[in-house]
Chains A and B, each alone.
Chain A
Amino acid sequence: MTDKDLEKDQEFEKMLKDKMEELSDSVDCFGKISERVFCEEDADYSDSEFVVTDLENVTGRRRFSPLIKIAAAGLAAVFAVSVIPRTAFFRNFMCNVSTTSNSTFATATASVLDNTTPDSGMEFHVYDVSLDEYISKDVMVTPLYSCPFEDIGRDNVRVRVFVRTYNDVAANQMYAVEYSGEYKQANFIAVADTGIEFTDEQLAEAYEGIEQIKDTAIEFDLYKNSDTMSFTHYSIFSSGDGIYPLSSSFIFYKSGDDMMYETFHDIIREGGYQPYDVSPSDVRWKKSVYSDGTSALPSSRGTEYKKVTDVVGEETLDQLDSFLTFSPYTNKEIVSEYTSVHYIEGQYFKFDVPVDYADLQTLTISLFGKSSMYFELSSQSDPKLPVNSDDESLVTEISRDEAAKTGGVYYVDFGNLYITEADDQAMKISEEVHRILEEEGISGAVSEKEDAEIQKHIQEELDKAVDAEKNEKKPRSQLRKLIRYISRMKKRFSRPRSRSASMMLTEKTL
């Protein structure tokens, strides 16, 4: 439910309430009430069907004589003692009575089923992936949590994951069920849960911080001299010391045959927006049990992605202009049914993509050194980058104009792309702006005055470009993109952070 839906609900409720109040305002029956209640003469209660002994039975329900109840209980006891034990049903039932270990599984199963039923009032994103896929590609399924089940060496085993959501934002109240064949209780092999529960009020309060963290979180997507894929997972996160809106950025790149990745987390709590270290204990499944009560937790993580702590390398920093960056799923209507981990590939890259569509919409692909592929193309054309996915409902190609229309992030190397006269002009403006930025320095020390001067100069160049003889719109739109690009870079690097990327970039540009 979005904020807009919530507002509409509240308007509706108010409207109904007001109408009912208007109607009830015309009710005036206290006279009749006091006439009946305080009449000195015989009070006529015949209409109410009450007799003296029923005066306290104000709900009007008839009560049976206690003797009848006792007799009924006695008969039931006789029946239970003499008849039931002789039936086969009872014997079978006693054979299957819960032992201590089975009750753990039964309790866990009941918890999953009760909480995930549509009547529970809670909302979930539900993923259904194969067990093998979840183990090897856990980050794409539940980015913060690994698979709670070990590999049991069986075929056709799947995992259904329930992630609690609030207004489509994930929370770390999660359940997972390992099953074989059809999804039904009889086919459950193991059940897991994170042991975290949220009230609606807690989610609502934390959700208020999500928009703020979306505005302030730095989404890392543009590092390393290689093609990268990144996405940001926003969640309402319960850790040991509180419930916070959390932003988690993941960057993936290929190194040899290995897919490496790094994560960055930020939260908002007292003191404001700050980096956060998600500890292993924060993201541990509290319970994972087989039907016999034994633990189903794996002894080690089986993911194929290798987690590293230093994606950024020094050699990246002067290569920023050589990236081709695009976000293929931003503002795109995605009809994925969360049934498996998909991939996206182009001529030069292939990446797995997250299952959850909220994560997909933040996904960015950055291709290093690929902008030159457009070198011979006129800016009049709409160069397309073919992109394929094994999910037909996902994007199949990216074009510059399409990215602009959908608001997808699309940065190009202005120096190489345009060969018309207007594009030459744009290139010169680009070089001029870069020179200004280098002189002024992109660092945490940019003062308001310096910032205003830069903006003023950019605006002057923009106004000049508007007067260009040919393709007036093209230079303007390109400059606007350039200005957005610069703003983004400034925002990214003007915040004092302890991470290596910003520090090294600052050194390079000073």
Chain B
Amino acid sequence: MKCSDSKECLEKLYLMFKGSVFAIAFGITSDYHLSEDCVTETFVRLAQVRKFSAKKGDGKGFILTIARNVALEFRRRYRRETESDPIIQSYGEAEKTVEDSIYINQLLKYLNDKQRQTVVLKCCAELTFREIAGIMKCPETTVKSRYKKAISILKEKAGE
């Protein structure tokens, strides 16, 4: 599939994966606008792929790997700007956006970076543990263990 030649095709992919890509980006950056930029960048880069080969793995995993790496790159690049007040940076035009951003950030702030990514990939991108292991480049058992630990932390904090 040559996305660069087909706007319709790219739009289909965008609609299919926008949610997952955004979730991964938000899980890493904790910033709404930055995550939105990550979504844009991810699909732009995807469109630049001349030819997707099976060697690169499954398509979904490929796209989400790009998303993850873009998010990590953006976080590194824009870290100084977001460190001052991550909650203010999350302001969007709609109040709902603000509320949801704050809610999710408050929920996930008790997790370390890898736990956050694992939880987001599992719950929001709805990947299997095996797929997550492929994206995060770690054993499947490690993913399971991280996930279990993360959920127990979240449940404990949610109950407080």
What residues make up the interface of A, taking CB atoms closer than 8 Å to B? Answer: 8-9, 12-13, 16-17, 19-27, 29-30, 32-34, 36-38, 48, 50, 55-56, 58-61, 118-122
**Do the beta carbons of A37 and B44 come within 8 Å of each other?**
yes
The 3 lowest CB-CB distance pairs between A and B, nearest first, are A121-B144, A24-B22, A20-B124
The answer to whether B89 has its CB under 8 Å from any CB of chain A is no
Contact string against A for B residues 14-36, beta-carbon threshold 8 Å, 1 for contact and 0 otherwise: 10001100110010000010011
**Do the beta carbons of A60 and B69 come within 8 Å of each other?**
yes
**Do the beta carbons of B69 and A20 come within 8 Å of each other?**
no
The answer to whether B92 has its CB under 8 Å from any CB of chain A is yes
Taking A9-B151, A58-B45, A121-B145 as contacts, is the C-beta distance between A24 and B40 under 8 angstroms? no
Q: Which chain A residues border B18 with CB–CB below 8 Å?
A: 24, 27
**Do the beta carbons of A21 and B19 come within 8 Å of each other?**
yes
**Do the beta carbons of B104 and A16 come within 8 Å of each other?**
yes
| 18 A–B contacts from the bound complex (CB under 8 Å) | A8-B155, A9-B155, A12-B151, A13-B151, A17-B123, A19-B104, A20-B26, A21-B19, A23-B32, A23-B101, A26-B97, A33-B47, A34-B11, A36-B44, A37-B3, A59-B66, A120-B145, A121-B145
In angstroms, how far is the closest chain A Cβ from the Cβ of B120? 7
Q: Which chain B residues border A58 with CB–CB below 8 Å?
A: 45-46, 48-49, 66
Using CB atoms, name the residue of chain A closest to B159: A8
**Do the beta carbons of B45 and A12 come within 8 Å of each other?**
no
CA distance A33 to B42 in the complex (A): 9
Tally A-B pairs: CB < 8 A. 122
Classify the interface of chain B: helix, strand, loop or mixed.
Answer: helix
Chain B, interface residues (CB within 8 Å), range = 35 or more
Taking A8-B155, A13-B123 as contacts, is the C-beta distance between A55 and B94 under 8 angstroms? no
Using CB atoms, name the residue of chain B closest to A122: B141
Using CB atoms, name the residue of chain A closest to B11: A30
In angstroms, how far is the closest chain B Cβ from the Cβ of A364? 35
**Do the beta carbons of A21 and B124 come within 8 Å of each other?**
yes
CA distance A192 to B5 in the complex (A): 60
Using CB atoms, name the residue of chain B closest to A38: B7
Contact of B65 among A25, A27, A30, A59 (CB under 8 A): A59
**Do the beta carbons of B158 and A23 come within 8 Å of each other?**
no
Q: Which chain B residues border A23 with CB–CB below 8 Å?
A: 22, 26, 32, 97, 100-101, 104
Q: Which chain A residues border B41 with CB–CB below 8 Å?
A: 48
In angstroms, how far is the closest chain A Cβ from the Cβ of B99? 9
CA distance A27 to B39 in the complex (A): 9
Using CB atoms, name the residue of chain A closest to B97: A26
Contact of A37 among B10, B103, B120, B122 (CB under 8 A): B10
In angstroms, how far is the closest chain A Cβ from the Cβ of B76? 11
Q: Which chain A residues border B7 with CB–CB below 8 Å?
A: 34, 37-38
**Do the beta carbons of B48 and A34 come within 8 Å of each other?**
no
CA distance A120 to B140 in the complex (A): 9
**Do the beta carbons of B22 and A27 come within 8 Å of each other?**
yes
CA distance A13 to B154 in the complex (A): 10
CA distance A8 to B14 in the complex (A): 32
**Do the beta carbons of B97 and A60 come within 8 Å of each other?**
no
Known: A37-B3, A37-B7. 4 other contacts (CB 8 A): A16-B154, A19-B104, A60-B73, A121-B144
Q: Which chain B residues border A38 with CB–CB below 8 Å?
A: 4, 7
**Do the beta carbons of A19 and B49 come within 8 Å of each other?**
no
The answer to whether B96 has its CB under 8 Å from any CB of chain A is yes
**Do the beta carbons of A24 and B155 come within 8 Å of each other?**
no
